[in-house]
Structure 1
Amino acid sequence: MPTLILGLVAFLFLYLLLQLLRAANPAVLARAIRLAGGIIALAVAAFVGIKGEVAIALPLGIFGATLLGWSPSLTSFFGKLFSTGTQSAGGHTSQVRSQFLDMILDHDSGRLGGWILVGPDAGRSLDDFDLPQLVAMMTSFDAESCALLESYLDRRFPAWRQNAQGDAAGGRRHAPAGGKMTDEEAYEILGLQPGASGDDIRRAHRGLMKKLHPDQGGSTYLAARVNEAKDTLLRTHRS
């Protein structure tokens, strides 16, 4: 019976996770996963506690509570307790927005994902479209959005430039960013929280450039944005 209940809980969690992934709004998705994970962890902790396994139920319950935003001191305690001694680059994701696209880079996996912001397909993930559909979008995108989309295509379809008929974005792939970068944008690109130190900024920049530098098969446009973000924040620190 306990195995059946745990199996049902696991199935429910996976089902909800798949539904959330289809919605694909990164900010809402992150909050929803934390909420669902916290509720499930507390439910399992309660079940295990009733069975008398207090040694398992207590840490599981604390973990669930921290996912729901409770007990920040305990979160810090457990973060130090299980730390491997290595420091994060300052965040798990980087975010770059343009008029038409919102792009997210996962620091751990190096995966680049994107969502459409405006138009009839607003809210949909770029993963929902095939190569011809994505290339066709460039005809209605501004230069910065085209550069972002090309960065995504370079990762998902490495040979797309050779296969795409007429290179729909020709001449725009090196388009400069639209306007001066703000501190808020720079923090999002580097995956840092406002107020990060100069060392944190340099560390985040180095980690991202290892994944994005053109010499490593990355994106020229995104590498330029990361460099601009570093310069923007270090300039703010100096002033």
Structure 2
Amino acid sequence: MSRPVLEVRGLRAAYGRRQVLRDVTFNVAAGDVLTLLGRNGAGKSTTLLAIAGFVPNTQGEILLNGQPLCGPPHARMRQALGLVVKGRSLSGSLSVADNLRLAGVSRKELLELFPEMERRMTVAAGQLSGGEQQMLAVGRALLRRPQLVLLDELTFGLSPSMSRRVVDAVLAQAARDGIAVVAVEQHIHIAERIATHAAVIGEGVVRLHLHRDELLRRAAEIEAIYLGLPVDV
């Protein structure tokens, strides 16, 4: 069996003295999508930020293709990492075209993925609608052909039709290029559509590892973790 693209082992991370992650462990293979499920404050987004280098890990390992993923965020990006997190994904004052140039992504590639962006190339990213900003951010992250992409609440604030549009693009591109994806999500029904498998985080600890087919069947257990109740694994 080949080594996973991403291995996270016993990850602990803190904001100052406040311990947020206590024991986060999971693997993601090429072309797979892992969703991190959990209530607000469980540690999902902190996990992404720790992998990307924005939050220091105090213990544990983060391995990309078997090698430690370390250094500041810009160094990790050079190690084939893509990131879509609110406030960290786009240069709002730059046009769509300039954002693409900054990422080394061609206009043609973005328009193949999201043709509706053709008329928005000269518009500043900060002036785009929420859905357009997400298409640009996702396109920039995926079309660099990284080995790993981290997505924080991919569909938050999007209409159902825009959510489907963005999710379909992510799934198609990840499968086509063999990109490993870690996607933070709060809603089980969205995770069931996106994921190949899921890790459910409660109080900074991964409490359940589930295949996509188990998500709806074990929804009561997932919801118990959201509520901080004990669950027999």
Short-chain TM bin: under 0.3
Larger proportion of strand: 2
Q: Which has the larger radius of gyration?
A: 1
Larger proportion of helix: 1
Q: TM-score w.r.t. structure 1 length? A: 0.25
Quick one: higher RCO (CA 8 Å, sep 6+), 1 or 2? 2
